[in-house]
């Protein structure tokens, strides 16, 4: 998670840079924990905000929240208070308190829809959902919510760097959902529940066709159709697999499975199946 921390921290510091310019005139950048300081309520909003940023640099997130919340509480009408709300939410995000971060960001978006950093607020909220995506063995409702929030960033701010990153994460989330469908499909197939398995594998092919699970889904459909005696259906599915993924190992498995599986029924005419297969592929 260190990569994520460093990248997102850079974003927060970019966000804070214009505000820090004013604060630096009143704060020398040294570690204020080494010297006496006035009670928080008596400090200026500039110095509190700068101290919060320094706490972020040092990964002291609880302390950072204390500074930012003090800015909002003691100086609610200052120019620093609004940005302090956003940075407090970011601090919660960085300490993996996603529920608190999402709540704070929801309030920020509702109260400050025209803020200059509103795109970042939407993006950070989407990240807070995205970071909670669980493994493919468990319920994926959280993944669907994360995808909806990422899509919102893409729709609202299509030309931003946040949208570009959201698109990448959307692809990963989509792959995650496809993985869950594959897990369930394999379970049904192993139990002989072919109709249920077909539904799962077809969903992968139809709704998640850009993921890396699609070749296996096509192969599993070929397996099931052959098990059900639906040879023509199996051949059509294998042809789709061969056309779109000609060098994929799943295509090679399907090819071998279809040829070997159908050979006994065509022993009296060994050349017919081969010619039919070649006409498909």
Q: Is residue 39 one of the residues assigned to a domain?
A: yes
Q: Is residue 34 one of the residues assigned to a domain?
A: yes
The yes-or-no verdict on residue 159 having pLDDT over 90 is yes
At 45 the pLDDT is 84
At 20 the pLDDT is 44
At 222 the pLDDT is 95
At 247 the pLDDT is 86
Q: Is residue 65 one of the residues assigned to a domain?
A: yes
Q: In terms of pTM, does the model score above 0.85?
A: no
Q: Is residue 78 one of the residues assigned to a domain?
A: yes
Q: How many distinct structural domains can be found in the chain?
A: 1
The yes-or-no verdict on residue 281 having pLDDT over 50 is no
The pLDDT mean for the chain works out to 81
Question: How far is the first Cα of the chain from the last one, in angstroms, to the nearest whole number?
Answer: 45
- Report d(CA 131, CA 122) in Å as an integer: 14
Q: Is residue 224 one of the residues assigned to a domain?
A: no
Q: Is residue 18 one of the residues assigned to a domain?
A: yes
At 18 the pLDDT is 45
Lowest mean pLDDT among 39-43, 104-108, 137-141, 147-151: 137-141
> Tokens in use for 158?
């299509």
The yes-or-no verdict on residue 217 having pLDDT over 90 is yes
What are the backbone angles phi and psi of residue 113, rounded to the nearest 5°?
-65, -20
Range of the domain at 54: 2-95
Q: Is residue 53 one of the residues assigned to a domain?
A: yes
């Amino acid at each position: 998670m260190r990569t994520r921390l460093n990248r997102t921290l850079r974003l927060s510091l970019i966000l804070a840079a214009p505000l820090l310019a004013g604060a630096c005139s009143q704060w020398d950048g040294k570690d204020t924990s080494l010297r006496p300081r006035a009670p928080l309520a008596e400090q200026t909003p500039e110095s509190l905000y700068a101290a919060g940023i320094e706490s972020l640099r040092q990964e002291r997130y609880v302390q950072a929240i204390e500074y930012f919340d003090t800015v909002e509480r003691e100086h609610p009408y200052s120019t620093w208070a609004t940005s302090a709300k956003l940075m407090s939410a970011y601090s919660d995000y960085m300490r993996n308190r996603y529920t608190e971060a999402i709540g704070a960001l929801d309030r920020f978006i509702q109260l400050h829809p025209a803020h200059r950093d509103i795109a970042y607020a939407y993006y950070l909220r989407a990240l807070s959902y995205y970071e909670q995506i669980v493994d493919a063995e468990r319920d994926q409702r959280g993944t669907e919510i994360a995808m909806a929030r990422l899509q919102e960033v893409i729709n609202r701010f299509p030309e931003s760097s946040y949208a570009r990153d959201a698109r990448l994460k959307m692809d990963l989330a989509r792959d995650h959902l496809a993985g869950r469908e594959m897990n369930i499909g394999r379970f049904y197939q192993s139990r002989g529940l072919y109709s249920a398995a077909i539904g799962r594998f077809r969903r992968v092919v139809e709704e998640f066709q850009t993921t890396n699970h699609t070749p296996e889904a096509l192969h599993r459909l070929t397996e099931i159709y052959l098990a059900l005696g639906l040879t023509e259906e199996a051949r059509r599915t294998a042809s789709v697999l061969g056309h779109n993924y000609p060098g994929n190992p799943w295509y090679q498995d399907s090819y071998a499975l279809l040829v070997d599986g159908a050979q006994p029924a065509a022993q009296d005419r060994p050349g017919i199946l081969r010619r039919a297969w070649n006409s498909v592929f």
